[in-house]
């Protein structure tokens, strides 16, 4: 019984302090707080000096400390640091060495626990003796990895988590490249790629960026228990490039189809993407005379060569049917797509093709159809891209590209309301000082 005296004394002391606090609260209820005074109407002839004041005393039940931490078990949490291993993380969580060895042995085939993402939080329930009872870790998906100890054995499972959507707004200025600017502004790479895709029909991010160009972006981030889990959609964006400003708003129709539009409802999606690669550099342009590095002779180069690492994703620049997939002479591994009307696109020197791709396959704009390589007559890894109109090669960087359909008439009122809200957000961000980005 002696061991319970401190707890009993603590509860009695807290209860007395709580009663005193309640008396003060009641007594102070007629005093303005923080200089804020509320005015009330009072009937004439009432003596305000004789208003009765009553002291109210209320007994409050305090929680039993034993219920908060049964059997001396506690939940702890740690942020994953760069270079962390499972063992070092569990050690910081006060798990005993014996339990760490047992945990590693029991969960060696559990993939999620091996994906330690710096900055994320791991929570563990441990006993006073260092026994690990449970572990929770959100790996960045919609599921949480949970490990529980049952009958002395660790069991791992996935648990769906409730995600909270938040809308973030960021701005940046181009000093060297888009990714350098978004990194400096704390914008995730996934959002940077979406930003480039949104404006890819109007801005060539290989050639058109200039120092001093700036952008603002509104996007989704999903949280679980206050921790960011994943990024979502770019909801609105503005990009000023070489003195011209482009704006985009994301809108989803009732049938689930979504796309990006100008604030007045015109589609930003062209029938063709300007480039089949997300990010790369142009190593050889469209010209009537180029010295061929392999054949060692002057000849026309009726396409664009994009330098990129082997294996980089090659995208279909428009909705199409696959007309040819296979090897063809100096092109090496090649894909030819047939688009609506008189348009064809050609993709050469590929290292491989997307799984299941064959003649007659249907592909959508942006689908990955192959991977950068150096097959055929090539001195290094790159993509050779051609754009044909009625069978004649045209410069894909300068040819006029048709636009997609605008917002449907029946959806315009809803779109207009959403567009105004997003433009207000962009205006708010535009009027703030841009972060200094290198």
Is the dihedral angle over the CA atoms 347, 349, 354, 356 positive or is it negative? positive
Q: What is the pLDDT of residues 232-255, one digit of tens each?
A: 999 999 999 999 999 999 998 877
215 phi/psi in degrees, rounded to 5: -150, 155
More confident residue, 71 or 138: 138
pLDDT of residue 60: 62
CA distances from 397 to 197, 302, 334, 336, 418 (A): 16, 12, 21, 19, 33
CB distance 222 to 232 below 8 Å: yes
Query: CA angle at residue 326 from 321 to 330, to 5 degrees?
Result: 120
CB distance 270 to 264 below 8 Å: no
Confidence of residue 7 (pLDDT cuts 50, 70, 90): very low
More confident residue, 71 or 141: 141
Q: What is the pLDDT of residues 117-168, one digit of tens each?
A: 888 888 999 998 899 999 988 876 677 888 999 888 888 888 888 889 999 9
Percent of the chain with pLDDT over 70: 76
Stretch (H or E) spanning 276: none
Burial 143-179 (b: 16+ CB within 10 A, else e): ebbbbebeeeebebeeeebeeeeeebebbbbbeeebe
CA neighbours closer than 13 Å in the CB half-sphere of residue 308: 26
pLDDT of residue 142: 76
Q: What is the pLDDT of residues 278-329, one digit of tens each?
A: 766 777 655 555 544 554 554 566 788 998 899 999 999 988 999 999 999 8
Confidence of residue 38 (pLDDT cuts 50, 70, 90): very low
**What is d(CA 386, CA 348) in angstroms, rounded to the nearest whole number?**
9
pLDDT of residue 278: 77
- Strand segments (E) across 36-97: 74-79
| Model pTM score | 0.55
Largest Cα span, the chain: 110
Q: What are the chain's domains? A: 70-160 (3.10.450.350), 164-269+404-438 (3.10.450.350), 281-394 (2.70.70.10)
């Amino acid at each position: 019984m002696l061991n319970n005296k401190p707890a009993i004394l603590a509860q009695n002391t807290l209860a007395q302090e709580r009663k005193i606090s309640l008396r003060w609260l009641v007594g102070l209820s007629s005093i303005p707080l923080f200089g804020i005074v509320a005015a009330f109407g009072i009937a004439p002839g009432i003596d305000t000096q004789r208003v009765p004041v009553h002291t109210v005393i209320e007994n409050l039940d305090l929680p039993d400390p034993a219920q908060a931490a049964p059997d001396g078990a506690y939940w702890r949490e740690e942020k994953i640091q760069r270079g962390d291993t499972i063992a070092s993380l569990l050690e910081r969580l006060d798990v005993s060495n014996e339990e760490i060895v047992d945990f590693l042995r029991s969960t060696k085939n559990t993939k999620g626990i091996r994906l330690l993402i710096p900055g994320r939080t791991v929570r563990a329930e441990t006993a006073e003796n260092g026994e690990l009872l449970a572990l929770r870790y959100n790996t960045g998906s919609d599921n949480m990895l949970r490990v529980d100890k049952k009958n002395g054995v660790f069991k791992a499972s996935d648990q769906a988590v409730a995600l909270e959507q938040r809308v973030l707004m960021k701005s940046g200025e181009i000093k060297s490249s888009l990714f350098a600017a978004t990194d400096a502004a704390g914008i995730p790479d996934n959002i940077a790629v979406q930003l480039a895709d949104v404006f890819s029909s109007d801005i060539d991010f290989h050639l058109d960026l200039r120092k001093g160009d700036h952008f603002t972006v509104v996007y989704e981030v999903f949280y679980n228990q206050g921790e960011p889990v994943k990024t979502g959609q770019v909801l609105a964006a503005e990009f000023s490039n070489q003195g011209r400003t482009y704006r985009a708003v994301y809108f989803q129709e009732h049938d689930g189809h979504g796309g990006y539009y100008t604030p007045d409802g015109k589609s930003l999606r062209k029938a063709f993407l300007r480039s089949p690669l997300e990010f790369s550099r142009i190593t050889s342009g469209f010209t009537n005379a180029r010295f061929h590095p392999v054949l060692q002779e002057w000849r026309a180069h009726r396409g664009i060569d994009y330098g990129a690492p082997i294996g980089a994703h090659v995208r279909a620049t428009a909705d199409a049917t696959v007309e040819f997939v296979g090897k063809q002479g100096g092109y090496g591994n090649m894909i030819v797509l047939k688009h609506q009307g008189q348009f064809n696109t050609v993709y050469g020197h590929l290292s491989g093709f997307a799984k299941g791709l064959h003649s007659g396959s249907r592909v959508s704009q942006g689908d990955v159809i192959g991977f950068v390589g150096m097959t055929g007559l090539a001195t290094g890894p790159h993509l050779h891209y051609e754009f044909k109109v009625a069978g004649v090669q045209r410069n894909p960087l300068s040819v006029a590209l048709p636009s997609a359909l605008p917002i449907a008439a029946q959806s315009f009122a809803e779109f207009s309301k959403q567009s105004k809200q997003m433009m207000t957000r962009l205006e708010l961000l535009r009027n703030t000082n841009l972060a200094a980005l290198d």
